[in-house]
Amino acid sequence: RKEVEQDPGPFNVPEGATVAFNCTYSNSASQSFFWYRQDCRKEPKLLMSVYSSGNEDGRFTAQLNRASQYISLLIRDSKLSDSATYLCVVNEVGWGALIFGKGTTLSVSS
């Protein structure tokens, strides 16, 4: 079983749509959780950290359910510029190694 599993993509949505990505992780000892965004042929960039209480950054909302070992990312009012690959990431025992999911590709069209 893969350590971090994400929805298979790609997601193709029109501008203005709401889209949700889901992710599960296998190690219950995982301590920190993130969503990274990666544009084509570029490095991953931190989109947001994910907390049990849920957190929101503008059009982006992330949720964590530790009991179900489940992480989600909701994007509202999608923009063309949101087109990218979204990577679900966990950090085990807080010592540095980030465990990445395979990524889900989002394509927003006009």
Question: What residue ranges bind another protein (CB under 8 A)?
Answer: 4, 32, 41-46, 87, 91, 94-103
- Residue number, 39 or 77, with CB nearest to another protein: 39
Nearer to another protein, 4 or 108 (CB): 4
**Nearer to another protein (CB atom), residue 17 or residue 90:** 90
Size of the chain, expressed as the number of residues it contains = 110
Smallest distance from another protein to CB 77, Å:
27
3-state secondary structure of 82: helix
Residue 22's alpha-carbon distances to 42, 63, 68, 94, 95, in angstroms, are: 23, 10, 12, 22, 25
